[in-house]
Each structure stands twice: as C-alpha cells, then as structure tokens.
Structure 1
Amino acid sequence: MRHITKQGSGGHHLQKAHLRPPQTNREATSRWRSFNHKQKVLESLLAEQYQLCCYSELRSDHHELGYHIEHIENKGQAPQRTFDYTNLAASALDSDRLRAFKDRLVQENLPGDFFGGHAQGKQQSVDMQRFISPHQHDCARFFAYLSDGRIVPAENLNEWDQERARYTIDLLNLDSGFLKVERQKWWSELEQLFDEHLDKDMDVDCLAAIDLLPTAQRLNPFFTLTRQFFGRIAEQVLQQDAPELL
C-alpha cells in the first residue's frame, strides 16, 4: 500500500454536494446513487494515484477489471463524508464487472474472493482505529511483500502495529489468490531482469528507474513491492528523480 497525496477537490459538483452532507446512512446511499458525476471524480482519483488501486496497487486497467470510487471510511459509518474528497479513493474492480471477475476466479481455479473496497470485510463496519488507510502517510511501513506473492505485516512493527497490519490485510482480502498470483509473477519478472543485469554488468539503477518511475502519469503495478525489492537502490532513484513518490 502506497501513500496517496490528495490533490485538488474532485471537481465543482462534488464540492457542491459536500456543502450539504448527508446525515444518515439512508440519505448517503440515496444521494450517492443519484450523483451523476462519478466518472469525473474517478478520473481525478486515478490521476493522483498514478492509475494504481488504492489498496492493492494493482493496475486494474491491465486486467480489464475497472475501478470504482471507494469511501475509505464507509458511508454507513460516516454519512457526512460521502462527498468529502479527502475520504475518496479509486479501488480495483468496477462494480459492473464483479460477476465477470468471479467467473475468472473459477476458470483459473484461484481461491479467494473480491478484494479491496469490494472485500466482504470492508462491506461491514470498519474499526478505523485499527484500519490502515492509503491516506495515512506512513502506510507502506506496515506491510512486507514476499517472493511467493504473499503480503504480511512488516517484521519491525510493535505488537499494536502488527495487529493493525493483520486486520487491514484480512479486512481487504489483500492476500487473495488472485493478488498473490499477480504479485508472484511481478516479483519473478523483477528477479529475472535483476539477475540478467548483474550477469551482463548492466546498470541496475536504470532498471529500478524503469520499474519505479511514472510514465505519462502512470506507475507500474505493485509500486511498494518493487520499492522493497530494490531496497537502497530504489530509495536513491526516487530521491533523485521522483521525490514526490517517497
């Protein structure tokens, strides 16, 4: 999970709606359903997220899965934040493509279910004291990515932070079968290219830059995994060429 720096306000229509925020869950659901400017808001969110899913860092467009607007703090818990741009993010899985994604899991014999904003846990009441949000500046430090595709709590966390990391992973189903397979593929690709660069005495810093730096305001998938993979090299590349991503 990478930190998302909020930019702008989501547009005039969202701002206008937020001037009179909903006060009940029912009102929030009704007004959000009838809000006709979601595509414009989604475009703004994806731009500030470099096209990555706010929770999984998947490039959902690469898989034709689409995105939806996610309320970090659920509408049912905080109806007054329904149109609050600081509470919104773009999460993988377009609501209209959920059935197709479910069918894909069956066809590919992958365990698991929906993840991110559509995960079953996130549909329920969320303990915001334990939940780690991508709007939290240090969110990346809570998680470690392994070569087999798993995501786990980082090793250097205290007991409370470990609990928060586990809670967030489980709540968002970030260790779903689909995500594990995709992360393992990405790790293997990085490892193969890294080894080739070492064998041929090629510039590893250049390789890290290709994998970490945005192109046309888009990042490659699994930015934080890639950053952890390259370690010190990644930090040097980002500090020099894209400090806004640190």
Structure 2
Amino acid sequence: MEEQYSLCCYSEIRPDQIGLGFHIEHIENKSQKPERTFDYDNLAASALDSETDLHAFKGRASEVFGGHALGKSDSVDIKRFVSCHQPDCSRFFAYLSDGRIVPADRLSAEDEDRALYTIGSLNLNSPFLQNLRQQWWDELQELFDAHINQEMSLHHLASIDLVPRGKQLSPFFSLTRNFFGEIAEDVLKHDFDELN
C-alpha cells in the first residue's frame, strides 16, 4: 500500500476513502503461472476485498473491476496486457471528461490493441468507476475555472492532488496528470520527481 501511495494498482481509486478494501492481486494469474504465486514482482494491491466488497456488487457483476473483473479472472494474454508494473504503463491510456478511460492518442496499432485489451480485461469503464472518475473530473474542472477567474496559481492547484501527503496520493493520479497536462509535468518535475 505504501509503495502504491494507497491507490489501487488498476483503477487508482483510494478504497479507504470510499469504504472499500484491497486484495493482493496477481498480475499474471496464479492459475496461469503458479510458479509466480509468491513472486513479489507479480503482486500488487488492488481494490475490492475478496471477502466483503464483492458482496456489495452482488447482482451488479458488470460493475466489478480490476483483479475481480470477469476478464481478469480468466486467463489473460500477458503479451497484450499492460501491467501496472510496466514503467511506462501510463502512456497507454487517456481520460475523458465523461469518466471513460481510452487508449491514448498516437499509439501504434499494437499498443492501441494492448490498451483496449487491458481496459476490457479489467473492466476499467465499469459504470462504478466511470461515475467516480467523472465526478473527479468535474471537481477538477470547477476548481480550475475558479483559479483562472481569480487569477490564482494553477501549479499550486495541480500540486494538491499530484504531490503525495505523507505516503498517500489523491485518487485518480493519472487522470489528474492527464487533466493538467504540461502543468502537471512541470509540478512533478519540480516538486516530486519520484513519480516521473
């Protein structure tokens, strides 16, 4: 959790802020590669505690996401799957104001396929996640507009959600980075180079 700044490895929600838990996720499924079951490089913290949270989604299987999504519980094509441990994984995805995650612009055909495959396998556009991301985007937009109107610093605004407080980040780090664009890159370069 500390290594991930309290964010889910796939959705980037902060489960602790919305009453959900975590489980230990095997990036490459145990059933596919049993020898990687205890390989630290194959583990991550993913939202939705197996014992309690899945009951909250009972009857709403289409909203289950991340490591418990139907597409991830089946065997995944690890050559197509964009791993959260891949250093440049964020380059595959972009975020829209309606809360959807899509393949980033200017990807090769192969990388676009990988992005689409990963989004689908993890159900990253589940209605639950899409709604949370849209709310986050709307909040950022409202604050951004207020800062423009009152001639306040956009760099300071961006740093609120891009720079960790202690060992925790605000939810949706990548969406926030996407939203602020060059401002975000400047903030990260100057204030928190570890996340670059």
The count of residues paired between Structure 1 and Structure 2 equals: 196
User: CA contact under 8 A between 1:142 and 1:161: conserved in structure 2?
Assistant: yes
Match of 2:62 among 112, 115, 124: 112
Q: Which structure 2 residues correspond to residues 109-148 of structure 1 after superposition, within 5 A?
A: 112-148=62-98
How far, CA to CA, are the matches of 1:234 and 1:99 in structure 2? 35
1:112 aligned counterpart, secondary structure: helix
Residues 28-63 of structure 1 deviation map (CA, whole Å, 9 limit, x = unaligned): xxxxxxxxxxxxxxxxxx100000000010101111
- 1:48 aligned onto 2:3: yes
TM-score normalized with structure 1 length: 0.78
Alignment map for 1:62-211 (pairs within 5 Å): 62-103=17-58, 112-211=62-161
| Cα-Cα RMSD | 1.2
- Mapped partners of 1:61, 1:93: distance in 2: 11
The structure whose Rg is larger is 1
Instruction: Determine the structure 2 residue equivalent to 1:234.
Output: 184
Question: In structure 1, what is the Cα distance between the partners aligned to 2:92 and 2:99?
Answer: 16
Which residue identity does 2:107 align to in structure 1?
Answer: L
CA shift at 1:100, angstroms? 3.5
Q: Which runs of 5+ in 1 are unaligned?
A: 1-45
What's the secondary structure of 1:69's corresponding residue? strand
Any stretches of 5+ residues in structure 2 without a counterpart? Answer: none
Which one has the bigger helix percentage?
A: 1
What amino acid maps onto 1:52 in structure 2? L
Aligned to 1:224: 174
Q: Percent identity?
A: 59
Shift of 1:98: 3.2
Tell me the secondary structure at the aligned position of residue 129 of structure 1: coil
Query: Could you say which residue in structure 2 is the equivalent of 1:58?
Result: 13
Equivalent residues of 2:48, 2:54 under 8 A apart: no
The answer to whether the 8 Å contact 1:75/1:82 transfers is yes
Q: Deviations over 1:112-166 (max 9, x none)?
A: 2310000011111110000000100110010010000001111110111110000
Q: What is the TM-score when the length of structure 2 is the normalising length?
A: 0.97
C-alpha distance in structure 1 between counterparts of 2:63 and 2:153, whole Å? 40
